[in-house]
Amino acid sequence: MHFIRAGVAFAIVMTAGLGATAGVAQSIEPRAYSPAPVGTNFALIAYSESRGAIPTDPDLPLSDIDIKVQAALLGYARALNLFGKSAKVDMIIPFARLQGKATFLGAPVQRDVKGLGDPLARLTILFHGAPAMSPAEFRNYRQDLLLGASVQVSIPIGQYDEDKLLNLGNHRWAVKPEVGASKSWGRWTVEAAGGATFFTANTEFFGGHKRSQKPIYAAQSHLIYNIAPGMWVAANLSWFAGGRTSIDGVPDRNLQKNWRAGVIFALPLSRRFSLKTNASTGVSTRTGNNYDLYGIALQYRWGAGL
């Protein structure tokens, strides 16, 4: 079964550093556009740890950033019939602890905070190559070329303190439309996706200032090798740029242009359970993102005759 084999897209690869900017705009997601029988459900529990110049917010006037984030995530997804096409809805809820230090206007600062991050909700539809299928129809399905689209929303209810520069939530909405494609040749699958993340303004930024941010444009590609049924490995590469910010109308010099690379390995434990591990790192960094991330996730699936 293909759909969400990465565990709700492996919880956006463990939210890539938490916050809305990182989790939505900078995701690495193999198998985000592949089908499953209508009515299949997926639940996920995951843990990740990351350390380095984690991009909590690219517009923060911080330097010498050294942050550690330990995150636990809960995810749920369900395969749907949407206008006769394969579709899904998914939700990710992150909980985390952020510890670290940085330099703010020449002075050292520290932060230790834990709580809820900004949840992510998404709708995905495959408009070519995968009609909505029953379990019996899906057993005879063979993937060729898939084309799809999605819209993801970051919900600003995570921990936020306007008197602090480092928070787990971003206190603003973020919306990411994306299009993706997937093509299989035997055991190999090649995927690509591109999108943009748009942000509302944060009117309670660090003492009541207004922070605005231009869109972040992102692209990602994946090379997947299917070792055995349910067992696969994926090499991933992502690029994102843009996102220049302004505070009270004054623009900052913080244009982003970054590359990240990673790998994911999936291992089936039983008919219903599977385990995923991942690692990623910054390859080329202009603003933030010079950090390493590691994670593990346990997925459970049910419904659709399983």
Q: Pick from 28, 22, 55, 34: which is nearest to 220 by CA? A: 28
Q: pLDDT band for 9, please (50, 70, 90 cuts).
A: very low
Domain membership of residue 59 as a residue range: 7-302
> Within a domain: residue 2?
no
Please give the span between the terminal C-alpha atoms of the chain, in angstroms, as a whole number.
11
In CATH, what number is assigned to the domain containing residue 98? Answer: 2.40.128.130
> Within a domain: residue 79?
yes
Count of domains observed in the chain: 1
Read off the tokens for 2: 């293909």
> Within a domain: residue 1?
no
Read off the tokens for 197: 């993340």
What pLDDT is stored for residue 27 in this prediction?
Answer: 66
Phi, psi at 2, each rounded to 5°: -90, -45
> Within a domain: residue 225?
yes
Provide the β-strand partners of residue 280.
262, 293
> Within a domain: residue 49?
yes
pLDDT digits (tens, 9 = 90+) for 92-119: 999 999 998 888 767 788 889 999 999 9
**What SS3 string covers 166-215?**
CCCCCCCCEEEEEEEEEEEECCEEEEEEEEEEEECCEEEECCCEEEEECC
pLDDT digits (tens, 9 = 90+) for 198-256: 999 999 998 889 999 999 999 999 999 999 988 999 999 999 898 888 889 888 777 77
pLDDT digits (tens, 9 = 90+) for 11-51: 444 444 454 345 555 567 788 999 999 999 999 999 999 88
Q: Pick from 54, 53, 46: which is nearest to 18 by CA? A: 54
> Within a domain: residue 78?
yes
Helix, strand or coil for residue 25?
A: helix
Contacts of 250 (CB under 8 A, 6+ apart): none
Long-range CB contacts (within 8 A, 24+) of 139-142: 141/35
Distance, CA of 26 to CA of 13 (rounded, Å) = 10
